[in-house]
A and B are shown apart, each in its own frame.
Chain A
Amino acid sequence: MSTITVTVNGKAHTSTVEPRTLLVHYLREHLNLTGTHIGCDTSQCGACVVHVDGKSIKACTVLAVQVDGASVTTIEGLAPAGELHPLQEGFWECHGLQCGYCTPGMIMAAADLLQQNPNPSDDEVRHGLEGNLCRCTGYHNIVRAVQYAAAKMRGDEVTA
């Protein structure tokens, strides 16, 4: 067993885990943060995307022991409790989801994208989300949702 200290959504957790514990299982089963989903479990679909030290990664392909000392943000920590992040609002307003399974990963990947590029073209949004698969909506409304959030975060006028 290994002892790790990880700051998740601003709160430090010290936990004892088996070294083989995947980060996604650590978040879901040890910390009960079930917003991060497991889709493919093979690094393809992006349902498990979270941020480690500000960068998006696939939590099904990282060990919990590898983030010892790091800071992790999950979908639960993106906005203060009771508020929606502009991306969450955008997905709502633009109908960027149907079943919602892919949505936490989509939003975390999009949040990383908007950090790097606050004013992306539609093509750049699609390219930036190439690690995320959605089996329901098609990607059109997801792109609109990200553009809605981008505009809002830049302080531009927003339209759903």
Chain B
Amino acid sequence: MIPAAFEYFAPGSVAEAIGLLEQHGDEAKLLAGGHSLLPALKLRLSQPGVLIDISRVAELHGIEAGDRLSIGAATTYAAIASDPAVLGGCAVLAECAGQIGDIQVRNRGTLGGALAHADPAADLPAVVLALDAAIAVQGPAGARSISADDMFVEMLTTALEPNEVVTRVTFPVLGAGEGASYAKLKHPASRYAIVGVAAYVRLHADGSVAAARVAVTGAGPRAERQHATESALVGSAGDAAAIAAAAELAGESMEYLGDIHASETYRRAMVKVYTRRALEQAVARARG
């Protein structure tokens, strides 16, 4: 299978990429790792006239450690999964990135591409939501930051404006009393999430739950916070009974997708199971 013909540009900077996007309008698409876009082009599901390859723009690469972790949009999953600063400060991100597809997918696929594409079965959106990451974007009107809660609007649709480029994503560095986990039921062939749950908790000194953020991906058209589960957990002792009760509330008010891989009923059941597993592990990690 061969994509329809297109013109190809490999700009050297984000500014240049934005200029090309403006110049070519609806005809143009950004290309990063290509592991969602190229399969679609090969099937001719999409036939853009212009591809703007940002995968080798230097300013979109690299992981900067500080109060928060700042990760360039074109950084690959493999680079994230093996980075010492990520493993030390935000291990759940490495845990998630390291479970995407297979090693060849992880050597190409990028953080920015995964978030901009917003595939309903993508893993990283759940972690981005649970950790309250901030998505830095640049466009013709300048730079702005999109909060994780605002980013995922609908299936394959984000808060990005036309001609905007995701440049960096910043994640918190977790400290004492904080823990996070990603639990995934993977499709056995593609390893996309049939259900994926990311959980974050912060505990008081007495071990009770001070804050919780839980997000589900794979089950519905978009990755979504689970507010009922979060509220039930906050103020509780964070013990097995409290976690089980909170997990039962997960997925109750969500829209579901059913397909040949898993029915809506099965996904609904698995959301609760994987929410419980993710929370148990997040709390265990927070207790150290």
Contact = CB atoms under 8 A, between A and B. Distances in A.
B175 to A, nearest CB: 30
Given A22-B2, A66-B55, A44 B190 contact: yes
A19 B103 contact: no
Contacts of B3: 20
B93 interface: no
A63 B108 CA distance: 12
A21 B78 CA distance: 25
Nearest to A21: B2
Contacts of A76: none
A61 interface: yes
Interface of A: 2, 18-22, 25, 41-44, 46, 49, 55-58, 61-63, 65-66, 68, 109, 112-113, 128, 130-131
A18 B31 CA distance: 16
Contacts of B53: 65-66
A58 B190 CA distance: 14
B259 interface: no
A58 B104 contact: yes
A43 B42 CA distance: 11
Interface in B1-54: 1-8, 10, 31, 34-35, 38-39, 41-42, 51, 53
Nearest to A55: B107
B34 A66 contact: yes
Contact of A61 (B4, B10, B35): B35
Interface residues of B, number: 30
B8 A2 contact: yes
14 contacts: A19-B8, A20-B2, A20-B41, A41-B42, A43-B35, A44-B189, A49-B104, A55-B107, A56-B104, A61-B34, A61-B108, A65-B10, A109-B103, A109-B104
B191 interface: yes
B8 A65 contact: yes
State the 6 A-B residue pairs at the shortest beta-carbon distance, nearest first: A131-B102, A19-B8, A20-B3, A55-B107, A58-B104, A130-B102
Nearest to A42: B39
A145 to B, nearest CB: 18
A30 to B, nearest CB: 14
A109 B1 CA distance: 23
Nearest to B9: A19
Interface in B206-229: none
Contacts of A128: 103
A158 B68 CA distance: 48
Contact of B104 (A20, A25, A131): A131
B101 interface: yes
Contact of B38 (A2, A44, A56, A61): A61
Contacts of B31: 63, 66
Given A20-B6, A65-B10, A57 B107 contact: yes
A130 B191 contact: yes
Given A20-B6, A43-B39, A66-B34, 12 more contacts: A19-B51, A20-B3, A22-B2, A22-B42, A25-B2, A56-B107, A57-B108, A58-B105, A61-B35, A65-B8, A68-B10, A112-B103
Contacts of A56: 103-104, 107
